[in-house]
Structure 1
């Protein structure tokens, strides 16, 4: 995700999970931040595994699903992110989606971004979390530029498994600044206690690193807090990304929520060719080429 020949001056580590509702709600700001940074940083995703394989199964899956659907609804009231009209179940595991997302990185940043987007949409638009390898691969099907056979092979490889294990371990070594963060966010992002008594980053958390130091911005935050972290390490690195015309934004991103199109575009909305997908919290807008292969339009 870099555009320069030499080492970028700042590394951004995004601690995330494909199935995390707060990470989904942060996508508008993260897309705007990546646009403003313009490839002048190394942006790396570390998959923290929100739903782990050793988590105890719920005694009453129906009640657990109803509770979690209300939880997502509460989060979407803050983030204004789309949510599924009906959630089929709570995800059994984040491992399959994380393995597929990590495997997609081997096919380039653009493919990886689009595959991760589809994985997020599996739960927050379709209500069918991609919590098996088969479902995760199916969610990615039709992504432009994706080699599906290679994705399946890489997701099943020892190399990708080692990478995700390393991500999970890294997420469980939080910097001291996130143990008791301040701010008035509904999700300030204090590090979470793990079953073994340790800590992991709350999701999402962005960690900015440079030779000048390190800044952590945990939880759900406005664009200005991320910009301040960049400026503290490398003043002037953050550019001013001009808003895109609606049709150009839809062509670039292929899938836009209302919060995203308000933040990233300027002009009359929607474009004439946009395909609207209704959710439980506002529409999702698809480019027609995306709509032709998107699971939401196949129903």
Structure 2
């Protein structure tokens, strides 16, 4: 793994695109297809709308980003292909060890987030296997994005669960490579990418984006101290970009109605389908928390729990105990 504290590419926060694979400008938002109707003497132009782009600024170890996962997954279900997510790695902490007493504070903070959000969290990571930095995990997500057909979401989710629920020390090469294997990625390609300068530069571009705070966000008091490198956007932040290029941002903790409103303002359309059943949702997403099942399947907590335990009793679902709650995965 690169020595991040002395890497010039990160220090200057690269501004240019990386070998054509990390565009920083706006993409075309409409694609035109010409269709000639048989027997007609004219050509009709059929326009296919490109999905609303969502730039989601986060960090794999961000507890509030973990708390927002139920809302993100509900967006994915309710809007389908109308939304296209890009996971921007904002770099939560370059070096935790530089802040005395930070690990006990993080342990208490994660407990508070678990209590407020109802998402399962195991804060004993900070006592038994504390990570020194979140930068390696951020870079690993960038490496996953080079080959994953889902934009790296499955890998990001795997690392999130490992850190926040399973007490996995994911801040060095081999554990991050193992997470790639579990996520179905080409391990050798991932390993090469993780060590490459291109990935460092791609992460640098993400860092710069996270540290570009709009005046309105700063005026609203939502800018966050980036620990020695100025201010940054709060995590998570979601910026919805429609076909007119206008940005509709939701910064920091938010309700589902706020996220949905920003998506619709940018031009996204709900698919209008009925919510999935519990088993259907689990088969789509893999492991889910109880609150995620409630949100995605639109069920109250008692009904969601009753259905999950019924499926567990029928050996169709496996419960995974986390210190402050449960995760559920299809058998």
Name the stretch that deviates more: 93-102 or 196-205. Answer: 196-205
Structure 2 residue ranges without an equivalent (≥5) = 1-29, 32-47
TM-score by length of 2: 0.75
- Residues 1:153 and 2:192 aligned together: yes
Cα offset, 1:197, TM superposition: 6.1
Instruction: Provide the C-alpha distance between the structure 1 equivalents of 2:170 and 2:122, rounded to a whole number of angstroms.
Output: 14
Q: Secondary structure at the match of 1:269?
A: helix
Change over 3 Å in CA distance of 1:166–1:85 after alignment to 2: closer
Instruction: Provide the C-alpha distance between the structure 2 equivalents of 1:136 and 1:17, rounded to a whole number of angstroms.
Output: 15
Q: Write out aligned runs for 1:9-158 (5 A).
A: 10-53=52-95, 57-59=98-100, 63-84=101-122, 86-87=124-125, 88-110=128-150, 112-143=152-183, 145-158=184-197
Does the Cα contact within 8 Å between 2:144 and 2:180 map onto a contact in 1? no
Q: Secondary structure at the match of 2:131?
A: coil
TM-score by length of 1: 0.83
Q: Cα deviation per residue 1:111-166 (whole Å; 9 max; x = unaligned)?
A: 722111110011111123411222222233322x3211111111112222111110
Does the Cα contact within 8 Å between 1:178 and 1:216 map onto a contact in 2? no
Change over 3 Å in CA distance of 1:111–1:174 after alignment to 2: closer
Structure 1 residue ranges without an equivalent (≥5) = 182-188, 289-299
Instruction: Provide the C-alpha distance between the structure 2 equivalents of 1:244 and 1:130, rounded to a whole number of angstroms.
Output: 33
Structure 1 runs of 4+ off > 3 angstroms? 4-7, 238-241
Change over 3 Å in CA distance of 1:114–1:9 after alignment to 2: closer
Could you say what the CA RMSD is over the residues aligned between the two structures, in angstroms? Answer: 2.3
Instruction: Provide the C-alpha distance between the structure 2 equivalents of 1:42 and 1:217, rounded to a whole number of angstroms.
Output: 16
Could you tell me which residue of structure 1 aligns to residue 308 of structure 2? 269
Instruction: Provide the C-alpha distance between the structure 2 equivalents of 1:176 and 1:241, rounded to a whole number of angstroms.
Output: 38
Instruction: Provide the C-alpha distance between the structure 1 equivalents of 2:189 and 2:288, rounded to a whole number of angstroms.
Output: 27
Does the Cα contact within 8 Å between 1:93 and 1:132 map onto a contact in 2? no
Q: Give the number of equivalent residue pairs.
A: 272
Q: Secondary structure at the match of 1:92?
A: coil
